[in-house]
Amino acid sequence: MGLIIGSHVGMSGKQMLVGSVKEALSYKANTFMFYTGAPQNTRRKPISELRVDEAKALMQENGIDMDHVVVHAPYIINLGNTIKPETYALAVDFLAQEIERVDEIGAKTLVLHPGAHVKGGIEAGLDSIVKGLNTVLKEDQGCTIALETMAGKGTELGTDFDQLKYIIDHVALSDKLGLCLDTCHLNDAGYDINDFDSILDEVDAKVGLGRVKVIHVNDSKNPRGAHKDRHENIGYGTIGFEALNNVVHHPRLENVPKILETPYIEDVAPYGEEIDMLRKQVFNPHLKEKIIK
C-alpha cells in the first residue's frame, strides 16, 4: 500500500471540504485530518453545505482513500468532567452529533481527546468518560472513536495505556473504540519514542495493536515526561528525526494513516516539506530557513 501520510488541513470559506482536499494535495499528501467546524466552539454548518460529494470526487481522482481520512473532534468535548454537570452534558450531546456528522460525511475515524477530570479525581474522571461513551456509541454507527494518547497537562486523562485500557474494557460497544497515538503526547507523558517497539508491545498487550487507527506525528519542544504538550517541527525537537522516521515507516503500522500537526513556521505550513523529508527518510536541517525563504 505504501506510506499513508498527510496533515491537519483547514476547512473554511466557499471551498469547504473541497479546499481541504486541495490543501492536502498541495502537500503531496494521500490523507488528511480536518475538523467539521471550529474546534473551540459548537457552531457547525449542515453537512449539505460542506461540498462533500465534490471533495470525494477530487479525492478519487487523486488517489486519496476516504477510509484513510481522519476527523478530529473539537477540544471543548470533555466527558471526564464530574465537577460541572452542564459541561459533561454538552460533551455528550455534542459528541453524539459529531458522530452523526462524521457518518454522514463517510469518514471512518473520529479522534477524541478522552477528557480531563478537572480535580474530580482520576477514577471519577475515567468512569465519567466510560459513562459518556456508553451513552453516545451506537451499534449502527460507521465511524470508530480513536481515543488520543495525552501528554498529562493539567488533569488530562488517557496519559497511559492502563487508563485507555480501563476505558475500553468498561465501554459496552468497545468495538467502536480505537486509539490515536500522538508521538509528542507520548514523549511528554514519559514514553521513550526511541524505544517505539516497547510502546507497541504494551499497546498490543493491553488493548490490541489492531485498535491503532491513526498516528499523530509530532516532534516535541519538551523533554520526555514534561507533561507539557508543545509540538515542534519534525527533527527540530527532543524526539528527533530518526525516532519519528522509525514511527512513520514502522512495519507494524504500515496501513495506519500518519498525520502531521507540527507548528507553522512564520505563518507558513511546513507539511509539504516535512512529508517530503519523511518519504525520502532524510532529515533536512535547513527546513525552517527553506520555508521562510
pLDDT for 91-148, tens place per residue?
999 999 999 999 999 999 999 999 999 999 999 999 999 999 999 999 999 999 999 9
Q: What is the pLDDT of residues 149-178, one digit of tens each?
A: 999 999 999 999 999 999 999 999 999 999
Is 72 assigned a ligand-binding role in the annotation?
Answer: yes
User: Quick one: pLDDT at residue 147?
Assistant: 98
Residues contacting 259, CB < 8 A, separation 6+: 5, 6, 7, 8, 31, 32, 33, 70, 214, 215, 216, 217
Average pLDDT, the chain: 96
Does the annotation list 182 as a binding residue? yes
Distances (CA, A) of 213 to 4, 144, 180, 219: 12, 8, 6, 20
The burial of 169, by beta-carbon neighbours within 10 Å (0-12 exposed, 13-18 middle, 19 or more buried), is given as exposed
Chain segment 49-69, per-residue pLDDT in tens: 999 999 999 999 999 999 999
pLDDT digits (tens, 9 = 90+) for 258-283: 999 999 999 999 999 999 999 999 99
Q: Residue 1 — pLDDT band, cuts 50, 70, 90?
A: low
Query: Does residue 148 have a known ligand-binding role?
Result: yes
231 is in an annotated binding site: yes
Helix axes 161-170, 122-136, angle to 10 degrees: 40
End-to-end Cα spacing for the chain: 34
Long-range CB contacts (within 8 A, 24+) of 199-202: 200/250, 200/252, 200/253, 202/161
C-alpha cell at 152: 498529562
Beta-carbon count within 10 A of 36 CB: 23
pLDDT band at 8 (very low <50, low <70, confident <90, very high): very high
pLDDT at 97: 96
Encode 113-132: b = buried (16+ Cβ within 10 Å), e = exposed: bbbbbbebeeeebbbbbbeb
CA distances from 47 to 40, 76, 135, 174, 203 (A): 19, 20, 23, 27, 35
Any idea which fold 3-290 has? TIM Barrel (3.20.20)
pLDDT at 74: 92
98 assigned binding-site residue: no
Is residue 283 left, alpha or beta, with left meaning phi > 0 and alpha meaning psi from -120 to 50?
beta
Residue 209, classed as helix, strand or coil, is helix
Model's pTM, two decimal places? 0.97
Report pLDDT digits (tens) over 118-127.
999 999 999 9
Print burial letters for 10-24: b (CB count within 10 Å at least 16), e (below 16): ebeeebbbbbbbebb
Domain boundaries, the chain: 3-290
Task: Cell numbers for 5, please give them.
Answer: 501520510
What pLDDT is attached to residue 292? 72
Longest dimension (CA), the chain: 53
CB burial string 49-68: b at 16+ within 10 A, e below: ebbbeebbebbeeeebeeeb
46-to-28, 51, 102, 257, 262 alpha-carbon distances in Å: 29, 10, 12, 27, 29
Contacts of 281 (CB under 8 A, 6+ apart): 245, 249
